[in-house]
A and B are shown apart, each in its own frame.
Chain A
């Protein structure tokens, strides 16, 4: 058990659906991240939350919408996705105060049909 739990592990959705990915950490960390991992591409940082506030926002399409209701939970809301959005979505957490590295969840494998 890594301390960061992601649900669901697998998700298949149509392009008109709305779904949400959930991430929960039990490590007392105060920063959380969403990454996208596609085949043959480097890891892409999508969103960063520090102390429950979004502090940096990459140029991610608006069909991805993050939510961080408290320091332990992070969501990624999905709507009207495209097939190229199919990927492994990874959640990570860390301490903001020192650069000790990330703890990752096992990811959600998303397939858009």
Chain B
């Protein structure tokens, strides 16, 4: 069975500095991997997805993630944080087309200081 671990429950950065949100996964297959963002009192929005094409995936709002099979990691990065990036971020692993084969991480809360 697949699993996903977000290594930090909270990350705090200053505006204009890089962002790194860490995610490790476990899967018996070649999974699909996703990052979602949730702003307060909103639903989740898809940031980017990896589905066995290029290992470096670019998403919306300047975010990108690199799939590293040898390290079973899918870390999310952004070169320069903006105040509007403050939100909760979820890493997701999926071995199938939705439902109970899709597992959400516990989330990482990103704080951005002025």
Contacts and interface: CB of A to CB of B under 8 A. Distances in A.
A103 B28 CA distance: 26
Interface size class of A (residues with CB under 8 A): 20 to 34
Interface in B19-75: 32, 34, 36, 41-46, 49, 51
A101 B100 CA distance: 13
Interface in A65-112: 90, 92, 94-107, 109
B100 A98 contact: no
A21 interface: no
Contacts of B43: 2, 4, 6, 90, 92, 104-107
A62 interface: no
Interface in B58-114: 90, 92, 94, 96-100, 102, 104-107
B3 to A, nearest CB: 11
Contacts of B98: 31, 33, 48, 50, 94, 96, 99, 102
B105 A101 contact: no
Interface size class of B (residues with CB under 8 A): 20 to 34
Nearest to A103: B46
B96 A42 contact: no
A99 B42 contact: no
A67 to B, nearest CB: 18
A85 B50 CA distance: 34
Contacts of B49: 100-101
Contact of A58 (B36, B45, B92, B100): B100
A83 B90 CA distance: 26
Given A43-B90, A90-B43, A101 B34 contact: yes
Interface of A: 2, 4, 6, 31, 33, 42-43, 45, 48, 50, 55-56, 58, 90, 92, 94-107, 109
A-B residue pairs, 10 tightest by C-beta: A104-B43, A48-B99, A43-B104, A104-B44, A99-B32, A106-B43, A101-B46, A56-B99, A42-B106, A99-B97
Interface of B: 32, 34, 36, 41-46, 49, 51, 90, 92, 94, 96-100, 102, 104-107
